[in-house]
Structure 1
Amino acid sequence: MKTTDQDHALTAVIEGHAVQVMIDGLSDLSPHVARIADVTVPTDKHNPAAWHTVFYYAMGAKFVQALKARGGYADVHKAFGSLPASSEQILHPEKYTTEPDWPDRIELDIEAVKAAAPKGFELKGQDTLGEWTTRMLFTAEPATFDAAEALARGWGGDAEVTLATSGRDAKVVKLWVTSWDSEEEAAEFHTALAKLPDVRASARDKRLVTLVRSSETLDASIAEALMQAGGKARITLDPAK
């Protein structure tokens, strides 16, 4: 099952490849086409769809250019057989091409999470959000908009589980365990969480930050139980491929 993070990475490779082929074919006739890969911010900065377009097409093309510079289109085509492991590698191509950096492995104790779930809530899914989605969470909030890129840059890995009630007016709670490249970056992320309106509880332990998100107000004891369940995750920092 692909995660949100893996889906972002795959889409960026596919669309980035298509854009680069277009650049190669049209840049002599229309030199401005080559500048597509240099776009980093959409015209409408507060439109999430516009940000995703920039990521898939422009940043994806920049990633493909890094592969092409290393080994031509042969290297680009090889990437389809050995896909980037995360959106982090799209955002920082060197973490795929020259200094491989694979996401930390975080395995939540699902039974512990189920036991800590509020009454009436059931497990609805597991996911990995990745650096790009983390950045978008901060981009969506005016208080963290300007710092969003810097706050997400140190992402090392994450695992999220969604709990929800049934019915039309379902309530949703998310437990999210994240890891960071350094304690300083973990601390910056943890501090910034206070500016996100749906964060109900959070805690940092060196390079790890665990948090509970919900659109609904949560009893402190429920949030704490979920946090403790998150603390039972099996984590491998800095794994080899």
Structure 2
Amino acid sequence: METTFGFYDLIETFTKPGCAVCNLLQAETTRLLDSILYEYATDTSTQAAFRDSRGLCSEHGHQLTQMGNALGIAVLYEHPLNDVLRILQGTAPGGGSQARLMTRLFPQNPNGAIIDALTPTKPCIACASQAETEARFVKILSDFADDERMTGVFRASDGLCLPHFIQVLQNTADPSRSRLLIAIQTDIWTRLRDELREFMRKNDYQHASEAITEAEGVSWRRVVARMAGERGILSPRRTIS
């Protein structure tokens, strides 16, 4: 099978600590936010997207504030702020003919109109981009699971986090590839469990004289990331149903 865009990115990232898919998503999202902030803050289509989504989700919004360019953030967020203020001023319960009409039409919930108007109509643009990138890398790993280059780096890596491993299995229809993925991930998680158990054993006073290895010493952190995914990657995404 001919390699596809992103294949070698995945190969390279498997050599680094952590879930490769999580790490790639972190890198892609950082690049996107940097580009938005420093290249597209005054772009009309970007500003329109910010208005539709009422800015970014909590996770990506706070990430944006850590990247500098306070002026760029101000420019981007002035538009959604102006929009919500116009909505509040025009649809406040009891204030204005439109608001009074909505109150008569929907007396059981006089705030219904304002709630609908305030609700974002589009997802956070970083969340949407992240979802597309995630699907692409999950498919690459699924399609190339039995490629020797992929198999080798996957076997030597920290493996995938549980959520991304589940996604890969959901996208893998070939039984032999599924068995291979499960076997490799089982070996990786078995090593992690052994290191975690050694960490606990050596923290017992009876074995306090035994040195804790570097891998054992961080096993408690790694197991959290392996079960939940890397921080900020798999938190609830702002989507529009």
Q: What TM-score do the two structures reach when normalised by structure 2?
A: 0.21
Larger Rg: 2
Higher strand proportion: 1
Of structures 1 and 2, the one with the larger relative CO (CA 8 A, separation 6+) is 2
